[in-house]
Amino acid sequence: MALSVGISSELNLSTPPLPPSRQVDCSNDAFAFWKLPVECRAPLAASLAASERVISRYLFEEYLSPRERQPSLALSCYYLIKGLIPIGLRHHINALAIRARKRLDFPRWPCETALVDFWRDWLRQSLQRLGIADTLHIGFWPHGHRCSIVLTHDVESPFGFEQIQRMTDLEEQYGFRSALNFPLNQYRIDWRKLDDLKARGFEFGAHGLAHDGRLFRSEHDFSALAPLLERFANEQGLVGFRSPSTLRNVEWIKRLSFDYDCSFADTDPYEPQPGGSCSVFPFFLGNIVELPYTVPQDHTLIHLLRRDPLPVWTTKSQWIASMGGMILTLTHPDYSGTQPHLSTYGELLKRLNDLECAWRALPSEVALWWRQRSQTHLTIKDGVPLLTGPGGDRAAIRRLSEEALAK
């Protein structure tokens, strides 16, 4: 039977973005990931700095050259004429460009295991070093949930805006809520029309200013546009960000005052800036919590690859669930809000609804949890486990031998 636990209708939209000074343990090292008992930390200290270097290489796409970690010159030229090309022709040109582009050998798509393999190996070696076969850790999700499901949408145009209701109604039928991201200076957004959705437990985020390639074109452009983006987002109480076309720069995103970012994928070779963090779990991007999208986009599958999205969506979601990770979808009302794609999305929701013991959460809730988990500590005194810290009341103490990812 499907469980529908963990749904929260609590909204966080009136909360202003956290100041950059918020300080939590923003480490992404292997200890911070597994959250073993604090007593284990000192004997493993020597391996932690090295683990963070390896992990950062994946998370921040350092396996790519610096040139590959920024929008290409050809892309900047494309944005100059993009507005003149009708949308159907644009999809066609993009599909041809994707096919002509040299495929990256790494990360693999749709599933890349390199980081998962590293976390597992580190854990196995660490337990050996400690001379133990098993121990406890702080579970990845609150209240003992086995994985998490986060639904997000980018609303690209007035047409997409009109289709929102159909997608959100469908989500509610299955007991889900989602986050909708809007480009804040691309078309007129009637925020009053979204009041009802807000009251029903949906969340809104900033999808940059516009799909014009400017925000990450140069540091000069970023410095000029980021304050405007933050001001528009502040006016609407938006705490989440996804970059238009997922163009990104690790160091610049860290400077934004958002609570969370969703501009990275775990693996996405089909975006204008291909790559991926290899992570199906949240991680820290400075003080920002990064929530990578982990399920291939509808736009990629429908318009670029011309494939039925459902088989890939199902396989990937099941793979993530089997490891206890975060299933984070990115779909667009512009593409999935009309038939036949709306029915396909409904089928995905039905399958996600069948996943047992999954935490259904809004991005802001996952970001808050990941911060709390990072500040919560597990100690074992005289054989008795004890949790201290802000996540202590909802964190689950789990045995590693019962954790799928540890096997």
**Least gap, CB of 94 to Zn ion (angstroms):** 13
75-114 residues in contact with Zn ion (CB under 5 A) are none
Rounded to the nearest whole angstrom, what is the least distance from the CB of residue 256 to Zn ion in the complex? Answer: 17
**Contact indicator for 237, 340 with CB cutoff of 8 Å:** no
Q: Per the structure block, which two tokens stand in for 244?
A: 């238009």
Closer CB to Zn ion, residue 154 or residue 266? 154
Smallest gap from residue 246 Cβ to Zn ion (A): 8
SS3 153: strand
* Beta carbon of residue 219, minimum distance to Zn ion (angstroms, whole number): 22
Stretch that binds Zn ion, among 147-155, 190-198, 214-222, 397-405 (CB under 5 A): 147-155
55-92 burial code (b ≥16 CB/10 A, e <16): bebbbbbebbeeeebbbeeebeebbeeeeeeeeeeebe
Element (H, E) at 203: strand 203-206
| Chain residues 179-238 in contact with Zn ion, contact rule CB under 5 A | none
Window of 20-28, 112-120, 149-157, 302-310 that interacts with Zn ion by CB under 5 A = 149-157
Minimum separation from the CB atom of position 244 to Zn ion (A):
5
**Token code pair at residue 147:** 């994985």
State which residue, 61 or 154, has the beta carbon closest to Zn ion. 154
Q: Structure tokens of 160? A: 């997409």
Closest separation between CB of residue 2 and Zn ion, Å?
31
324, 403 contact by CB (below 8 A): yes
Helix 341-353 and helix 309-323: axis angle, to 10°?
20
| Enclosing H/E stretch for 204 | strand 203-206
Instruction: Give least dist CB 290 to Zn ion, A.
Output: 18
Q: Which is nearer to Zn ion, 256 or 406 (CB)?
A: 256
Sole window of 138-146, 154-162, 187-195, 348-356 interacting with Zn ion (rule: CB under 5 A): 154-162
User: Using CB under 5 A, which of the segments 148-156, 185-193, 268-276, 299-307 binds Zn ion?
Assistant: 148-156
Q: Which is nearer to Zn ion, 40 or 209 (CB)?
A: 209
Cα-based angle 146, 115, 139 (whole degrees, multiple of 5):
25
Which tokens is 390 given? 């802000």
Q: For residue 362, what is the DSSP state?
A: -
Q: What is the distance, to the nearest Å, from the Cα of residue 117 to the centroid of all Cα atoms in its chain?
A: 20
CB closer to Zn ion out of 153 and 373: 153
* 74-82, 101-109, 146-154, 291-299 -> range binding Zn ion (CB under 5 A): 146-154
Can you give the length of the chain in residues?
407
Nearer to Zn ion, 112 or 154 (CB): 154
For every residue of 375-404, DSSP letters joined together read T-EEEEETTEEEEESTTTTT--EEEGGG-G
331 contacts 167 by C-beta, under 8 angstroms: yes
Site residue total, Zn ion (CB under 5 A): 1
Site stretch for Zn ion (CB under 5 A), options 52-60, 63-71, 152-160, 217-225: 152-160
184/186 Cα distance (integer angstroms): 6
**Could you say whether residue 154 binds Zn ion (CB under 5 A)?**
yes
CB of 383 to Zn ion, least distance (A): 52
CA–CA gap between residue 27 and residue 33 (Å, rounded): 9
Q: How far is CA 296 from CA 84, 195, 199, in A?
A: 28, 29, 29
290 binds Zn ion (CB under 5 A): no
263 vs 277 by CB, closer to Zn ion? 263
We find the least distance from the C-beta atom of residue 242 to Zn ion, in angstroms, to be 8
- Taking CB under 5 A as the rule, does residue 334 contact Zn ion? no
- For Zn ion, the closer CB: 301 or 355: 301
In this structure, what token pair is assigned to residue 358? 């999954």
For residue 245, the minimal CB distance to Zn ion (Å) is: 6
The residue ranges that bind Zn ion (CB under 5 A) are 154
